[in-house]
C-alpha cells in the first residue's frame, strides 16, 4: 500500500472515530444533547480538530522513522522515509519548526530536520509558515554548535528566503536577510540588488544602508561605500560600528582627518572597542602623529589582553 493510501485510511479512521465520539457525547450531555443530534458544524469542527491532532501524531511517528533511516546503511531507506514524511503537509512542517526550537536537539538531528524543511518548503504555501521558518533558521545559524549545522542553516536559509519572498514580495526584512546571507557568501552584486530592494520598500532602513556599504567595499567602490555609511548615520547618528566602518573607508580614500573624527565620535559612544583604537592609530600614523598612534595601539592591546584574561578566568561569585 502506498503512502498516500495509508494517509487517506489514517485520516478516514480519525474522522470516523471523531464522529462516533461526538455522537456518544451527545447522548450524555444536557437535555438538548439527549434529544438532538450534533449539528453539521459541530461534527465538522471535531473532525478538523481530530484530523490536525492525527496528522501531528503522524508527523512525530514519521520523524522517528526518518531519524532511524538516516542512520542506516541504505541511502534509499532515508530518501523513502523523507518522501513519506512530506505527506503530513503543514502539520509536519510545523512539527519540524517546533523540533528546531528545542535547545536540547542533537546537532545531527537538527541538520536532518533542516534538510527536510528545505525539501518541504515549496509545498508549504502559507506565507506565515515560510517566514517563521526563516526566523527559526536565522536563530539557529547564529547559535549553531557545529560547522555542519551552520552550513546546513545557510543552505536551508537561502531556500526558505527565496520561498518567503515569493510569498511576501513587499517584506523589506526578507530582502535584507537575503542580502546579508549573500554578503556572507561574498556575492556582492546579488547582495546590493536585494539591499536596494529593501531600501525601496523601506527608505529609512539604516542597517540596509550599512550592509550595502559593506557590499560596495567588497567590489572596490569605496566612494559609494562612504555614501552608504553616511546615509545610515543620517538615519541613526549614534551608530559606533558604522562610524568605524566609515572611518576605515576614509583611510582607504586617503582622508585620515575624517577618519580620526569618526573614530573619536565612535569611542565617545562606546569606549570599549579595541578595533576603534586600532583604526584611529592607523589614522594618526597617516597624519604623522606617532605618539598618539602608539598610545592608541597600546590601549587596544591592553583591552584585548584584558578581554582574553576575562574569558580564560571568568569572575566567580561567592
Per the listing, cell 525539501 goes with 119
Count CB neighbours of 104 within 10 A: 4
The answer to whether 278 and 297 have CB atoms below 8 angstroms apart is yes
pLDDT tens-digit map of 84-122: 666 677 888 888 888 889 888 888 888 888 988 998 899
What are the boundaries of each domain within the chain? 81-169
| b/e code 6-37 from CB counts within 10 Å (16+ = b) | ebeebbeebbeebbeebeeebeeeeeeeeeee
Q: Is the pLDDT of residue 265 over 50?
A: yes
The answer to whether 201 and 172 have CB atoms below 8 angstroms apart is yes
Sign of torsion over alpha carbons 67, 73, 74, 79: positive
Contacts from 203-208 at CB under 8 Å and sequence distance 24+? 204/235, 205/172, 205/176, 205/235, 206/231, 206/232, 206/233, 206/235, 206/236, 206/239, 206/242, 207/176, 207/232, 208/172, 208/176, 208/179
pLDDT tens-digit map of 37-91: 556 565 456 555 555 566 567 667 666 777 777 666 776 776 666 666 666 778 8
pTM (2 d.p.): 0.74
Average pLDDT over residues 228-233: 98
Alpha-carbon span 315 to 167, nearest angstrom: 49
Residue 144 has phi, psi (to 5 degrees) of -55, 135
Lowest mean pLDDT segment, chosen from 150-159, 182-191, 198-207: 150-159
Nearest one of 97, 96, 94 to 82, comparing CA atoms = 96
Contacts for 252 with CB less than 8 Å, ≥ 6 apart:
222
Higher pLDDT, 307 or 214: 214
Task: Using pLDDT thresholds of 50, 70 and 90, give the confidence band for residue 22.
Answer: very low
The answer to whether 115 and 156 have CB atoms below 8 angstroms apart is yes
Amino acid at each position: 500500500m502506498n503512502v498516500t493510501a495509508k494517509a487517506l485510511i489514517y485520516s478516514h479512521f480519525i474522522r470516523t472515530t471523531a464522529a462516533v465520539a461526538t455522537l456518544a457525547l451527545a447522548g450524555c450531555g444536557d437535555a438538548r444533547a439527549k434529544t438532538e443530534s450534533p449539528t453539521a458544524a459541530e461534527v465538522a469542527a471535531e473532525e478538523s480538530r481530530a484530523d490536525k491532532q492525527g496528522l501531528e501524531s503522524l508527523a512525530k511517528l514519521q520523524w522517528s522513522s526518518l531519524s532511524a533511516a538516516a542512520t542506516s546503511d541504505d541511502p534509499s531507506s532515508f530518501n523513502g522515509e523523507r518522501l513519506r514524511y512530506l505527506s503530513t503537509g503543514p502539520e509536519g512542517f510545523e512539527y519540524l519548526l517546533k523540533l528546531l526550537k528545542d535547545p536540547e536537539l542533537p546537532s545531527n538531528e537538527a541538520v536532518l530536520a533542516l534538510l527536510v524543511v528545505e525539501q518541504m518548503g515549496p509545498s508549504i504555501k502559507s506565507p506565515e509558515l515560510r517566514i517563521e521558518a526563516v526566523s527559526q533558521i536565522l536563530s539557529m545559524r547564529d547559535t549553531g554548535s557545529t560547522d555542519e549545522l551552520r552550513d546546513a542553516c545557510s543552505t536551508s536559509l537561502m531556500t526558505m528566503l527565496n520561498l518567503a519572498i515569493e510569498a511576501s514580495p513587499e517584506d523589506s526584512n526578507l530582502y535584507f536577510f537575503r542580502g546579508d546571507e549573500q554578503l556572507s557568501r561574498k556575492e556582492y552584486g546579488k547582495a546590493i540588488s536585494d539591499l536596494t530592494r529593501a531600501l525601496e520598500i523601506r527608505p529609512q532602513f539604516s542597517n540596509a544602508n550599512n550592509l550595502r556599504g559593506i557590499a560596495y567595499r567588497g567590489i572596490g567602490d569605496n566612494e559609494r561605500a562612504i555614501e552608504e555609511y553616511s546615509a545610515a548615520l543620517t538615519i541613526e547618528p549614534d551608530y559606533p560600528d558604522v562610524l568605524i566602518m566609515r572611518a576605515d573607508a576614509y583611510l582607504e580614500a586617503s582622508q585620515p582627518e575624517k577618519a580620526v573624527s569618526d573614530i573619536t565620535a565612535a569611542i565617545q559612544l562606546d569606549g570599549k572597542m579595541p578595533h576603534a583604537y586600532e583604526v584611529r592609530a592607523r589614522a594618526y600614523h597617516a597624519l604623522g602623529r606617532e605618539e598618539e598612534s602608539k598610545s592608541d595601539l597600546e590601549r587596544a592591546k591592553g583591552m584585548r589582553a584584558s578581554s582574553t584574561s576575562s574569558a580564560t578566568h571568568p569572575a566567580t561569585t561567592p
